[in-house]
Each structure stands twice: as C-alpha cells, then as structure tokens.
Amino acid sequence: MLAEQNVPVFCQINALEINPLIDIKQIKNIGFSGSYPKEIVGAGFHPARAALKTRDILLGDPLINNIGYIVVVLKKNENESSLPSFVNTTLRATLQYETGNAYGIGRTEFLLRAVGDTEWNNDEKLKNSFWNGRYFVRLEQVDSDYAFVSLYNGDKKVTTVKVKRGETSKTFYMPGLYCRAGIQVNYRSYEGAKDKARLEIGSGLGTDSFDVYKGSTFLNGKCNVRDISVDNQTLNTGNITIRCSSGEEVRLSIGARVVTEKKTKDADGNKVETKVELSDGKLYSDDAEIAFNDAIAEYKRVASEYGA
C-alpha cells in the first residue's frame, strides 16, 4: 500500500488516571508533538467509536479502557527496497478535557446570608462547608450589586473576595492540598425574602443539613428542588418538590421524614427489593441507597489504590 499512497496506522491509547481528586467527564482532544522521522507524515487523534459519527464526544471510558487512537500516517514510498523494517518515534501528548466536580470539591452552590461570629461558629459554618468539610464559605456583606465572600480553611480565614452580581471572581488557590486547586466565586443572584426549606440528609456517617430554594441543587448536583410552597400562616409548614437522577418528582410535606427499610429475604432466600417509605405512606424505589452504597465502594477503592 505504501507504494501507492500514504497509510494511516491506528495505535490504541489506554489511559490511567493518577490524580483521584479530578473527576474527568469528557476528553475533548489529544494533541501530539515531537520530531517525526522522514517516514512519517504526521500524527493525530481519533476518538473512540468516531466511525459512529460521535466525533464531538468520547464514548470510551477515559480512565480504564480504549479512549481513542493515535493515527500515525506513514509516508508513501514507491521504492520497496528502501523501506525500513520498522519506524520508531517518540510523541508527547497534550490532553484537553472537561471536568465535573473538579478536585472532588463536592457541593458548589450555596444560599448564603450574612451572620455574626456567634451564629457562624454555632451553626452556619457547618452548613456551608465543602471539600469534605475541609473548607467553609461565609458571606460577609451583600447588596443587589456586590457580595463580599470569605473562604476559611478550618478556623483560619484564607481570603475575602468582592464579586459583582452576575460575574465571576479571579482565580485564587486554597492551601493544604497536594495539587494547586484554583477556586472562583460567582455571585449568581440576590434573593430577598424568597421561600426556602432546610433539608437534612442522614446516613450511618452522620447528618448533613443545608438550606435550599426553588432551583437549588444538592447531593453533588444529582437532585434539584423543583418547587417550594410555604404556608403563610404558620411559616414553618408547606411542601417541597424534588427530582433526582431517577427522573421521578417527589413531593414532601415540610417536616416529612424519609425512612429506609433494611434489605430482607423471602422464604426461598431471595433478596426482596428495598423501598423508601415517605411520611405519606407512598413507596418509591430506593435509588438513594444504591447511589450511596456505590459511592462508599468507590471511596474504598480510592483509599486502597491511592494510599498515599
């Protein structure tokens, strides 16, 4: 074939993630650089399954399996006697990828209110934690135009940033991590007396509570608040509608308690499907427990494989 045309050679690429703090959602492109011998015209990236007209995304698992191919184009040579038995070259790859939940930051959206030192130390601080409770975000001052937001590393204030509404601050870096982790603060909207509710999600590891309003997301973006209605007479009763990754909307009374039953077996030893029962007695599939158990298994895998 080389006697008649240039010939592309597809070399499969396998990738290994070495930083467990980064959640890679999509590898957009891989560029290659290096000095090519005279037998090579050039090299490029061909995404996995690109023949299925999916050149805009990468369908292969970017952490384990085939993520695509290096396409090395061999130069046409009509003189067969001058062809070498092999061609050797070293390439340097540059990856461009998008991340979600970058560096395992966890919760990224907060409904903040300015509080004094006493309220901050008693309750507000714990509600506004991120990065597995390592850091905290505090609203110092706010109006319809600007917000002054402080970030804490434990009890130590790292920085205070002034952000204009609708804009994003410059990048600054948090201490205490192996990798330089840049953070930006975005002041999305100013809410006055908007209806809100407090959600408390508990497990064997403890209870996490946070305030939400219509449009808020929680559980790392897996769930969102579709609607909140508050009884204007009592101000502490009403309803909240949420939707999670299962796609089903669930409407709860404010103050409702979610109870998860234990897994059981029938008389033949078969496992009975676990259900979640809400205070209204209606049964729903236990997607939350499945996701929780999967998350715990993944944490254990990370701890085992990246002990350092």
Range of the structural domain that residue 274 is part of: 193-308
Domain end residue (candidates: 53, 69, 100): 100
Q: What pLDDT, on the 0 to 100 scale, is given for residue 293?
A: 75
In Å, how far from its chain's centre is CA 16?
19
Question: Which pLDDT tens digit goes with each residue over 191-211?
Answer: 765 677 878 776 555 567 777
Domain end residue (candidates: 52, 81, 100): 100
Residue 240: burial class (beta carbons within 10 Å; 0-12, 13-18, 19+): buried
Do 290 and 183 reside in the same domain of the chain? Answer: no
- What secondary structure, in 3-state letters, does 217-280 show? EECCCCEEEEEEEECCCCCCCEEEEEECCCCCEEEEECCCCCEECCCEECCCCCEECCEEECCC
Q: How many domains does the chain have?
A: 3
2 in a structural domain: no
| Higher-scoring residue by pLDDT: 78, 58 | 78
Do 187 and 201 reside in the same domain of the chain? Answer: no
Q: What pLDDT, on the 0 to 100 scale, is given for residue 187?
A: 92
Question: Which pLDDT tens digit goes with each residue over 96-119?
Answer: 776 655 555 667 788 888 888 888
1 in a structural domain: no
Do 157 and 229 reside in the same domain of the chain? Answer: no
In the Cβ-directed half-sphere of 252, how many Cα atoms lie within 13 Å? Answer: 23
Q: What pLDDT, on the 0 to 100 scale, is given for residue 204?
A: 52
